[in-house]
Every structure is written in structure tokens, then in C-alpha cells.
Amino acid sequence: MNIIVAGGDGFCGWPTALYLSKQGHDVSILDNEVRRKIDDELHSNSVTPISSLEERVDKWKELTGKEIRTYIGDLNHYDFLREVLKKEQPDAFVHFAEQRSAPYSMIDREHAVYTQTNNVVGNLNVLYGIREIVPDCHLIKLGTMGEYGTPNIPIEEGFIEIEHKGRKDVLPYPKQPGSFYHLSKVHDSHNIMFACKIWGIRATDLNQGIVYGLETDETKMDPLLTNRLDYDDVYGTALNRFIIQSTIGHDLTVYGQGGQTRGFLNIKDTVRCIEIAAENPADKGEFRVFNQFTEEFSVLDLAKLVQKVAKEEGFGTDIAHLENPRVELEDHFFQAENTKLKDLGLEPHLLTEDVVRDILKAVVDHKDRVIKENVLPQVSWT
């Protein structure tokens, strides 16, 4: 298949592009490299030193003989997007290319507006581009489990059967997101569902949990292929951030009580889920939703797990309960469905102590790169 990976220079997109290329797909990457610029804006960095996109794809070609074409540009520039779609004629468009940090979207008005404009307009352009140029192309869009929020009933995969005043219907599952970023994903989902209905586009919305891990078999092939790894308060996600904090002797920063429970998955499962979605496309006009996570943990569970493994590796560390900068429940019911990807063949990599140990060992070599003042939360929801 010809597959475009939009956002293919990022944390999830880069290993996905390599994996799909290795599986024999004809892959190209579209990215405006804004994530690298945001590092400069935040005076932050990836713990792992990452090479330029050009160096990355050159090394991949040298090692495997496989070419990944690159298109540097912005989804918000429709003329650019049209040209890429015309040239590639993709069978699948994997859409990772959004601003994905909740804290970043909550910094101030400008960052909220940027996040929603970048994400919602970019996604709308993708929908129009598919309609105009490649109407059969399967849109595989990264949503987030955060779209659902934390309702006091089990979370279904996209839709829920409701009985109301004696009548029944299957309706989109209610969305109660917790940041302007998560809201942008909800807006995307609505736009995609509508476009499927009116234009007959085929789409899969992958409501992904929080991704942990660093390397895949492909990114491990050479230091130039290494994935990025974020640890700061803005982009660092819970487990990865805790592991890095433990290696620099920093307390593990649990926000509030730490009972916040979420769905998680290994980056190795992210790449496989995309392959599964691509190889089992949605029907024409179908808006399909999969919940893409493998296990549920509370933030405090993760901190305790990291604390134990880190101690065994010689990094004693404490758990600090900080005042929660977010507005969210810290003790709540959470139970979510995640059977659809498993039914299509996903065999999850579960979070064991050895998995934490492996990530920790990969990080230790680069711990001198950590900018310590970036670890504590600086963005408040209120």
C-alpha cells in the first residue's frame, strides 16, 4: 500500500513510518517539523539526541534499501497538501500531525488558539483533500482516550446504545474532555464523522491511550534512527516522565492524589495498531472508532512501579504529591472497552518491570541532557 504518515517526524509517527516501511509498504512522511521548533520555544529537548529527518531517512535507506520520501510542509497549507496527495495517490493517510500536549494548549489564549487552529483546520484540510483527490483513501486518524473524560459508567468504543423515553438508538459516546487540546480532538472526530456521512469517506478514529516506551525494533537499528523522548512538564507523558525523573534523582511528580486512571500502551503497540487499521480498512462512508490502549493504570500505580525498578537499578527516588495544576478528578471510576484492535490481531506488549527497566537503561546514557527545571509543572489550568 502507498501510505502517507503525517506527523512522521514525531514520537509516534517516526517509528510507525519505519515499521510500515519494513513491512513492505511504500511510505512517505509529511511533517512541518513544528515539534522541533516547540522544543526551542519551551527551552526543552528530547532526552535522546535526535537527528534531522533527512539524516533519519538516509540512514534507513542505507540500512534497508527502502526509501521513505519526505514532504516538509504544513497541513494547514491546502495547496501543499493537495500536491502531496496528487503525487502519492495514497491508499491510507495516517494522521499524527497535530499539537498533542494538553498543558501546551492551556498555557494561554495564543496556545489554545494555535492548538485548535492547527489541529481542527489541518484535519479539515485532510478531509477535503481526500474528498477532492483520493476519495477511496482510508483516513487513519489519531484521536485520544482523553476525548471521553472520566464518566461514571464504562466507556465504549466510540458509540453507545441508549434507551430514552421508550426509544433506542446507537449514538456517539458522550465526550467530556479535560483540555483545549483534547477538545480539538473531539472537534476532529465530529468533522470526520460528518465527512464520512456526506461524502462517503472511509475513516478510522483511533482513540489512543497514553503512549510509553522509546524504541521499536526499527529505531534500535542505529543511533541515527533513535526516537524522541519527552520528559518535560509540557510534553512528557506520565510513565516516561517518571522514568527520566528517577534517573536524575528527582522526585516522581504525581499530581494530587494520583488516583487519575487512564489507558496506556507501549509504542511498539502503537505501530502495530496502525498496521492493523491500514490492512483492515473501514468501508466507504464508515466512521469507525477503536480504543487504542492495552492496560489501565492510575498515575500513582505507575509512580510506584518506576520507584521499585529504579531502586533496584541503583536510583533511589521518592514520590512527591504536588498540587494538581489540572482540573480533573483524582479518584474516580474508570473502565473502558478495548476489544476491537485485539479482535483484529493485536497482541499487546504488557507493562512489566522488565519493560520499565529497559526504558530506564536506554535513558541513563542521556540523562546529562535533562534540563532539570523543566521537570516541574509550570502550566496551570486555572
Chain residues that interact with ligand NAD, rule: CB under 6 A:
7, 9-13, 31-35, 74-76, 96-100, 118, 122, 142, 144, 208, 210-211, 237
Exposure on the CB side of residue 199, measured as CA atoms within 13 A: 21
Nearer to ligand NAD by Cβ, of 11 and 255: the residue is: 11
**How far, in Å, are 12, 175, 194, 355 from residue 243 at the CA level?**
18, 31, 41, 11
3-state helix, strand, coil in the chain (%, to 5): 40, 20, 40
- Comparing every residue's Cβ against ligand NAD, the nearest one is 10
Nearer to ligand NAD by Cβ, of 293 and 315: the residue is: 293
Nearer to ligand NAD by Cβ, of 95 and 250: the residue is: 95
**Minimum Å distance from CB 6 to ligand NAD?**
6
User: Which residues are part of the catalytic machinery?
Assistant: 144, 181, 185
Under a CB-based contact definition with an 8 Å cutoff, are residues 372 and 250 in contact? yes
DSSP annotation of 118 reads I
* E runs forming strands in the chain: 2-6, 26-31, 69-72, 92-95, 138-144, 159-164, 167-172, 202-208, 210-212, 252-255, 261-266, 287-292, 295-298, 319-322
Nearer to ligand NAD by Cβ, of 68 and 142: the residue is: 142
- The Cα 125–Cα 136 span in angstroms is 16
Nearer to ligand NAD by Cβ, of 55 and 318: the residue is: 55
Greatest CA separation found in the chain?
64
**Minimum Å distance from CB 208 to ligand NAD?**
4
**Minimum Å distance from CB 291 to ligand NAD?**
11
**Minimum Å distance from CB 262 to ligand NAD?**
10
- Chain centroid to Cα 130, Å, comes to 22
**Minimum Å distance from CB 96 to ligand NAD?**
4
**Minimum Å distance from CB 319 to ligand NAD?**
21
Nearer to ligand NAD by Cβ, of 195 and 239: the residue is: 239
- The Cα 376–Cα 234 span in angstroms is 9
Question: Would you list the DSSP string of 249-312?
Answer: TPPEEEETTS--EEEEEEHHHHHHHHHHHHHSPPPTT-EEEEEE-SEEEEHHHHHHHHHHHHHH
